Amino acid sequence: MLNNFVMPDLYPAAPELFLAAMACVILIVDLFVGASRRWLTGSLTMATLIGCAFITYFTFDGTSSLTFNNMFVDDPLADFLKMLVYIAVITVLVYGRDYLAARDLDKGEYYLLVLFATLGMMVMISAYNFLTIYLGLEMLSLSLYAMVAIDRDSPRAIEAAMKYFVLGALASGLLLYGMSMIYGATGTLELGLVAQSVQEGTANRVILVFGLVFLVAGIAFKLGVVPFHMWIPDVYHGAPTAVTLFIGSAPKLAAFAMALRLLVSGLFGLAEQWQGMLMLMAILSIGIGNLAAIAQTNIKRMLAYSAISHMGFMLLALMSGAASAEPDPMALINAYSSAMYYSVAYVIMSLGAFGMVLLLSRAGYEAENLEDFKGLNKRSPWFAAVMMVLMLSMAGIPFFVGFFAKFAVLLAAVAAGHVSVVVIAVMFSLIGAYYYLRVIKLMYFDAPADSAPIRASLDMRILLSVNGLAVALLGLFPDTLMMLCTATLMRSL
């Protein structure tokens, strides 16, 4: 049996192998590092992510290659999304460092969980087989469950982790059951062969559609869209804010990649079936997300419901790529690049918004209520302006990246003939603008509720400023990011 073993090509998976090896090294180093040298673990974690970025950059050749018996794909889409994941995770570590240190949570466990969650995301992004997708998803999910509960003295965090774990286990079961049904119908776990079987009509259509329903349910949970959104507000609220920042940013890119690989690379032959499901979830997510956010007084819960509505817009673009039985290839690329553009724009905005919450938090004080933003302009005009840019962008007001992201999605939906859906989405977006503008009103027109000076490390202040400027500049020059998204998809799909 060993004589038949063929050594897989490890080159396409070099970043993942490097990260896994470094995580093991950091685990051992952390055992011998005392509390006084705890910064070493964080520095090594940051160096690992930078190393992964260099490896990804230098191994990029613009082509697609399969390895590990066609279970793992390295293509421009994977490389681009991985680079964005590294940037997002490094930003999370910089934003959360002071917050975690003030609460004695900046321990080796946190950094290791971040690394293993990042490894899970990387595997999800490059997965080309149901098993690899599930492996990456579970590595990410299990790390997130533990991260939510990392503050063991907080009953709220423990409760949020329990809810997340129970609902996450249920969603993983649904996803796995859907995968098993599709495997039973097609006889293969490889996405390319599944697509071929579906296209040729050799698989049992009824079993395929049943499997697809469970598969879409699992994807919807990971994206946090209606009706699988119940965990989002409780987990965002209950987790330490530095962990909420992590959950609300990089994993969205991995979830987008998983949805694209499964629905487009594997099950595009069933597009007529999943298009309707995505349409319903998109409309409900945009509606319920925006309406529920209006009633919130806690900014973390408000941003949680905002995330639900934003993921609804991403699904709207994904759905628009399945307009007809024989769609125009460029129309498909435009729709999927709009979904990708929206995911990237949302991650940038989410990093900035939760970064502002962390900026205002300090030892023994959580700045997570809307009241905490009162009079921010009097305390720090610059960071009030940064927050205003982020809120206007999330509301989809010109000329910020959020506006062009929404505009691209709505154009794709109109091109696919879903005019009525676009009208509903625009109406709910107008309603949703209220809760973003309310934050701006509190910052500029109310007296400060807290006169304590805003203290943060220089690198956090610089990075948060760059984050806000990126939202503004990508709004003024939206073509660059959109062209990158389009080019990577054209070379990968």
DSSP 343-402: HHHHHHHHHHHHHHHHHH-BTTB---BGGGGTTHHHH-HHHHHHHHHHHHHHHT-TTSHH
Helix axis angle for 329-360 and 250-259, nearest 10°, is 160
DSSP 8-state symbol, 322: T
Q: What pLDDT is recorded for position 251? A: 94
d(CA 184, CA 186): 6
The encoded tokens of residue 400 equal 């910020």
Burial of residue 313, with CB atoms counted within 10 A of its CB: 0-12 exposed, 13-18 middle, 19 or more buried: buried
Residue 154's contacts (CB-CB under 8 Å, 6 or more residues apart) are: 238, 240
Give me the phi and psi of 75, to 5 degrees please.
Answer: -135, 175
Beta-carbon count within 10 A of 258 CB: 25
Residues 6+ apart with CB under 8 A from 239: 147, 148, 157, 160, 161, 247
Q: What pLDDT sits at residue 367?
A: 82
Is residue 302 within 8 Å of 309, Cβ to Cβ? no
DSSP structural state of residue 34: -
Report pLDDT digits (tens) over 145-203.
Answer: 999 999 888 899 999 999 999 999 999 999 999 999 999 999 899 999 999 999 888 88
Given a contact cutoff of 8 angstroms between Cβ atoms, the answer to whether 372 and 450 are in contact is yes
Please tell me the distance from the alpha carbon of residue 126 to that of residue 215, in angstroms, as a whole number: 18
Six-digit token string for 391: 């809120």
| DSSP-assigned states of every residue in 94-158 | HHHHHHHHHTT---HHHHHHHHHHHHHHHHHHHB-BHHHHHHHHHHHHHHHHHHHT--TT-HHHH
290 in Cβ contact with 270 (< 8 Å): no
Residue 347: both structure tokens together:
């991650």
**Cα(151)–Cα(149) distance, integer angstroms:** 5
- Specify the 3-state DSSP secondary structure of 190: strand
User: What is the spatial distance between Cα 389 and Cα 371, in angstroms, rounded to a whole number?
Assistant: 19
Task: Tell me the CA distances in angstroms from 39 to 36, 44, 148, one per residue in order.
Answer: 8, 9, 21
Rounded distance, CA 248 to CA 232, Å? 9
Residues of the chain whose pLDDT is less than 70? 1-3, 5, 35-36, 323-327, 363-364
Task: Name the helix (H) or strand (E) containing 72.
Answer: strand 72-74
Please give the Cα distance from 324 to 326 (Å, whole number).
5
Residue that has been written with the tokens 């790390």 in this structure: 143
- SS3 category, 493: coil
How high is the pLDDT of residue 468? 94
What is d(CA 75, CA 52) in angstroms, rounded to the nearest whole number? Answer: 16
Instruction: Name which of 478, 280, 492 is nearest 396 in CA terms.
Output: 478
Which residue, 175, 171, 184, is CA-closest to 212?
175
Residue among 89, 368, 111, 45 at smallest CA distance from 248: 89
Question: So what's the pLDDT on residue 2?
Answer: 53
Q: Which residues pair with 73 in a beta bridge?
A: 66
What pLDDT, on the 0 to 100 scale, is given for residue 190? Answer: 92
- Which residue type, as a one-letter code, is found at position 413? A
Rg of the chain, C-alpha, whole Å: 22
Contact indicator for 482, 344 with CB cutoff of 8 Å = no
Write down the pLDDT at residue 5.
66
Quote the CA–CA distance of 282 and 92 in Å, as a whole number: 28
Cβ-based burial of 22 (10 A; exposed 0-12, middle 13-18, buried ≥19): buried
